[in-house]
A and B are shown apart, each in its own frame.
Chain A
Amino acid sequence: MTIEVKNLVKTFGSFRALDGVDLKVESGELVALLGPSGSGKTTLLRIVAGLDWPDAGEVLINGEDALAQGARERHVGFVFQHYALFRHMTVFENIAFGLRVQPRAVRKDEAAIRARVKELLDLVQLDWLSDRYPSQLSGGQRQRIALARALAIEPRILLLDEPFGALDAKVRKELRKWLRSLHHEINVTSIFVTHDQEEALEVANRVVVMDKGRIEQIGSPDDVYERPASAFVHGFIGESIELPVQVEGGVVRLGDRPLALAADGLAPGASRLFVRRHDMLVGPPGSGAFEAAVQHVRNFGPVQRAEVVLSGGRTIEIDAPRDKELRVGDAIGLEPRRYRIFAG
């Protein structure tokens, strides 16, 4: 099953939640929609599910026009951020719900429903909770039951809205691995929404980075981390140093100081230079593009994080390996191993 959206536009009053979004998800992929809150990622997910409707644009599921169908007909499994479990039903009845409400003609008999629910409870490894009510479950258990319920109807695609958003950090990490292996097992085309970059990079095959109703970049986790396509992506994913620079006649300047950085093909004008903290290599003074003085040092496991003042007065934070110890007051040179310059 593929999912394709074309030029999707959705406004809420004067707020443009989606501003012309194009995306194609291939069969069997596990795609993350990553972005800050208000970036439109949940709106996109809800439109694919049929819970919201776009002002313009197309949604195709397996090549068919999905907007011609309501949510009931789309056979989309949707896992809600707060699970939306039916509180008056046991775990078993929650999972069986989608099977019980099928039209009589195609409805399974009771034995088949029981077998299917049992199968799903085994799949999410919670068969022992069958007779409990949702209020008696932990957050992680509720999440897995919500997933089992969505899978019960054998959905064509699976959509998850901030699946781990309401869980504490430890449970979150466990469930990430679990979701990945579960997806491997069932292989349903899936999209999940998250604002947590680590989650997106760790779980998804592909990451879609969104901001202000637009897609900023689509790519593999490596792509979006190593080769950010825009200033926003660079700033949003990973920890970056951002410096305002000027590009003039093939020269990059920080303030009035020219930097020894290649500026081929850059448009002249005000730009922003991005460097990952750990991509700033420390050397003796004069060895790199920047001159700096160490102001403060703390050790973080394998790295030392140093607050340094660049000549010109700007303060940045860098992560350096622990082999060469930095001391407060050291004069150092900094050379960006990799960097990106974006206009604007």
Chain B
Amino acid sequence: MTMQIVHSGPVTSSDETVRAREALARDNLRTEPKAVRIAVIAIAIAFLSVFVVLPLVVVFAHAFAKGIAAYLAALAEPEALAAVRLTLLVAATSVGLNLVFGLVAAWAIAKFDFPGKTFLITLIDLPFSVSPVISGLVFVLLFGAQGYFGGWLRDHDIQILFAVPGIVLATTFVTFPFVARALIPLMQEQGTQEEEAAISLGASGLQTFFRVTLPNIKWGVLYGVLLCNARAMGEFGAVSVVSGHIRGETNTMPLLVEILYNEYQFVAAFAIASLLAVLALITLIAKTVLERHLDEGQGANDH
């Protein structure tokens, strides 16, 4: 048997063949030459750096361009504080509404079978594919002076457009799908057995929901609320259309960024923008953490 080794020559391990073999060993058919790998990674990093990292950095650089004092002073402006308050109010209202709706809709869709289910999910998804400007426009057409309900609202002295209710409506519209979308697949995957067991053990519907369903979907709920909140606080186009830009009254933080920017108050504009950017970063970090929890939950269900 050893004869064959001697016979076949190249098997004797000179440095060259050893190196050639190491190269082949690395090439396990599922990867590319090193130069290609480096080029791909470099392009990916360069692309993400230019289009994502730099814009983020610019926000903070401009916000602190004139020092921390100027930054803090900009944030302490009454206008800024009013915008923060309004943003929090609008987000809390919209997220609350969509949380309740999301739970209710997910229960109906995930736990029961009925015809037209796919269509209903498509309808819930609709706001994702509507331009933010159009999301605002539809409410102007309903509640504006020339809108369908405009006359009636004026007669009864109810202000929706260019006021907080309009902003809440538009925000609710654009954030409508988030919670439901996070919960429906999760609850579908978990099936109905646990709930059926709870009912058969004598639990009421609400007891079943709060004691069995909710603990199973709590990470999903948080995930949906998180994304819903981020969008609610950051929404610009839809809110811009319905707000009327009344200073100190109907300006949310994104709208104030626009106003200050157009007035060349760059430090102030970027100071507000930096708050929103921090919100986005916190959202992303929390999202990553939640996704890990959700993955683990799924893993637990699989096994």
Q: How many A-B residue pairs have CB under 8 A?
A: 39
Q: Are A4 and B24 in contact (CB under 8 A)?
A: no
- At the interface with chain A, which of B2-10, B164-172, B191-199, B211-219? B2-10
Q: Does B77 contact A (CB under 8 A)?
A: no
Q: Are B25 and A53 in contact (CB under 8 A)?
A: yes
Give the docked Cα–Cα distance between A51 and B31 (Å).
12
CB-CB nearest in chain B for A54? B25
Q: Are B10 and A71 in contact (CB under 8 A)?
A: no
Q: Please, which residues of chain A bring their CB within 8 A of the CB of B285?
A: none
- From known contacts A52-B28, A67-B24, infer whether A4 and B4 are also in contact, taking CB-CB under 8 Å: yes
Give the docked Cα–Cα distance between A162 and B7 (Å).
34
Give the docked Cα–Cα distance between A68 and B11 (Å).
8
Q: Which of A35-90 contact B (CB under 8 A)?
A: 50-53, 58, 60, 63-65, 67-72
Q: Please, which residues of chain B bring their CB within 8 A of the CB of A24?
A: 1
Give the docked Cα–Cα distance between A4 and B27 (Å).
22
Q: Are A51 and B28 in contact (CB under 8 A)?
A: yes
Q: Are B29 and A51 in contact (CB under 8 A)?
A: yes
Give the docked Cα–Cα distance between A53 and B1 (Å).
22
Q: Does B52 contact A (CB under 8 A)?
A: no
Q: Please, which residues of chain B bring their CB within 8 A of the CB of A64?
A: 8
Q: Are A68 and B27 in contact (CB under 8 A)?
A: no
Q: Count contacts on B: residues with CB < 8 A to the other chain.
A: 15
Give the docked Cα–Cα distance between A71 and B27 (Å).
9
Q: How near does chain A come to B302, taking the closest CB pair, in angstroms? A: 18
B17-60 vs A, CB cutoff 8 Å, 1 = contact: the mask equals 10011001101110000000000000000000000000000000
CB-CB nearest in chain A for B12? A65
Q: Please, which residues of chain B bring their CB within 8 A of the CB of A314?
A: none
Q: Does A296 contact B (CB under 8 A)?
A: no
Q: Are B10 and A63 in contact (CB under 8 A)?
A: no
Q: Please, which residues of chain A bring their CB within 8 A of the CB of B24?
A: 50, 53, 67-70
- From known contacts A6-B1, A63-B8, A64-B8, infer whether A71 and B29 are also in contact, taking CB-CB under 8 Å: yes
- From known contacts A52-B28, A53-B24, A58-B11, infer whether A68 and B17 are also in contact, taking CB-CB under 8 Å: yes
Q: Are B4 and A63 in contact (CB under 8 A)?
A: yes
Q: A60's contact among B8, B17, B20, B25, by CB below 8 Å, is which?
A: B8
15 contacts between A and B (CB under 8 A): A4-B1, A6-B1, A6-B5, A24-B1, A51-B29, A53-B21, A60-B4, A60-B8, A63-B8, A68-B20, A69-B24, A70-B24, A70-B27, A70-B29, A72-B29
Please report A residues at the B interface, Cβ cutoff 8 Å.
Answer: 4, 6, 24, 50-53, 58, 60, 63-65, 67-72
Other A-B contacts than A6-B1, A6-B5, A24-B1, 20 sampled, CB-CB below 8 A, are A50-B24, A51-B28, A51-B29, A53-B21, A53-B25, A58-B5, A60-B11, A63-B4, A64-B8, A65-B10, A65-B11, A67-B21, A67-B24, A68-B10, A68-B11, A68-B20, A70-B24, A70-B29, A71-B29, A72-B29
